[in-house]
Amino acid sequence: FQPPARPRARQEYLQLANAVEMTRAVLGPVIHTTRGYVLVVTSATTGEGKTVVSGHLAARLARAGYRTLLVDTDARRPRANE
């Protein structure tokens, strides 16, 4: 993933990237010591960024060497493949 060129969008992207990296750093030791770890990303309403966060986190975990499978279970509006 490359940061956008516009300053505001770039700042938001970098904040997301930092949050995803911090999440990976916290989850990494747990995932490393637990066989068959499942992580669910959910929220109460639509439009809160579940697809964006789960996609970035899955990519970051895969780049860190963890076996990763991203499953989009939204039957009405699947978007993980976009």
Instruction: Give 33-64 pLDDT, tens digit per residue.
Output: 888 888 888 888 888 888 888 999 999 899 98
pLDDT tens track for 13-36: 899 889 999 988 898 888 888 888
Residues 66, 58: contact at Cβ < 8 Å? no
Write down the pLDDT at residue 52: 86
Q: Tell me the H-state helices in the chain.
A: 7-33, 50-63
User: Which residues 6+ apart lie within 8 Å of 57 measured at CB?
Assistant: 20, 23, 24, 39, 41
Would the pTM of this model clear 0.85, i.e. be above it? Answer: no
Percent of the chain whose pLDDT exceeds 90: 18
